[in-house]
Amino acid sequence: MGKIPRFWGVHAEPTKLLRLILALLPFAVIVTAYLIASHVRLEANPSDKLTPSVSKMVEAVGEMALTKDKRTGRYLMLADTLSSLRRIVIGLGAAAIVGLFLGMTMGLFPGMNSTLHPVVRFLSIIPPLAILPILFIVFGVGEVGKIVLIFIGSLFVITRDIHEETRQLPREQIVKALTLGASQFQVLWQVVLPQIMPRLLITVRLCLGGAWLFLIASEAIASTDGLGYRIFLVRRYLAMDIIIPYVLWITLIGLLMDTALRLVVNWKYRWYVASQ
């Protein structure tokens, strides 16, 4: 055998350092491409708004994050972030809790399954954004409508996933618990629930993307604050120097949430990670 390939082909074994460099490479390409484009365009037209320079963006962020808004007396970026986070956490959290119990009872009790499975399937196919007008009409354009949109948009995905996961628990486990004297309630509470928990966290992780979509869509349409509201507001002035940092900020928050959920699974559910 010859030299171990480091990059090309199915046998490649990149070294640790090479892996790091490779991971950073695409980011470097994107940033460089932007910087060049920005430079070239600003050279041609110093008042161009589409590709602001880095210093322009830093300046804009400083304004948004570090100075009090004259009209409301708040730090806008912080206020936007907290409003958006509150909506997403309440909406997704409620969907996780309700979806967990719906999914588990459907997976464990055939009677419940017969009752709920068809309707859950039907509801899960309705595009959540299509009912946004209904939500705004029914709940108003305040907080409730936005939270309910995130809730509904995530609930059925979570329910279906937990249902599937519960059904895939080996039948033997449930029978075994019964031979150890478990009541049906104990089976649900002590056998099914603890084994489904790590799966719930993973499902919530996967639902984060959708939840952000619903959040920003509803904030864009009717709101007075929030990250989505802000970028759609400043769009009118083509304020790319605010929009780009906001998008990066939203991405960073999403990345942190995703990482946090993954770490919780790895720490608290070692047996689950080991059995995957």
Partner 1 sequence: MTNKIPHNNLLLMTDVYKAYGEKVVLDNIDLSVAAGELCTVVGPSGCGKSTLLRLILGQERATRGEIYVDGNPVGYPDPQRGIVYQKYSLFPHLSVLENVMLGKNFTTGLPDRILHRKRIQEEAVYYLEKVDLAEHYQKYPHELSGGMQQRVAIAQALIMKPRIILMDEPFGALDPGTRERMQVFVLQLWEEFDMTVFFVTHDLEEAVYLGTRILVLSQYYSDGRDEETCSRGAKIVADYPLARRAESTMVKATSEFGDLIQTIRREGFDPDYRQHVTDFDLKHPDAFQTLTEEEMRPNHVAANTDRHSKTE
Residue ranges that bind partner 1, judged by CB under 8 A? 170-173, 175-183, 186, 190-191, 194-195, 269-272, 274-275
Cβ proximity to partner 1: between 90 and 178 the closer is: 178
Sequence-ordered list of residues with C-beta below 8 angstroms from that of 31, at least 6 positions apart, any chain: none
Cβ proximity to partner 1: between 246 and 272 the closer is: 272
User: What end-to-end distance do the CA atoms of the chain give, in Å?
Assistant: 33
201 within 8 A of 264, measured Cβ to Cβ: yes
Instruction: State in angstroms the smallest separation of the CB of 273 from partner 1.
Output: 9
Instruction: State in angstroms the smallest separation of the CB of 95 from partner 1.
Output: 24
Cβ proximity to partner 1: between 35 and 175 the closer is: 175
Give the integer Cα–Cα distance in Å for 34 and 28. Answer: 10
Cα 111 off chain centre by: 33
Instruction: State in angstroms the smallest separation of the CB of 177 from partner 1.
Output: 7
Cβ proximity to partner 1: between 45 and 275 the closer is: 275
132 within 8 A of 149, measured Cβ to Cβ: yes
Instruction: State in angstroms the smallest separation of the CB of 274 from partner 1.
Output: 4
Give the integer Cα–Cα distance in Å for 276 and 262. Answer: 14
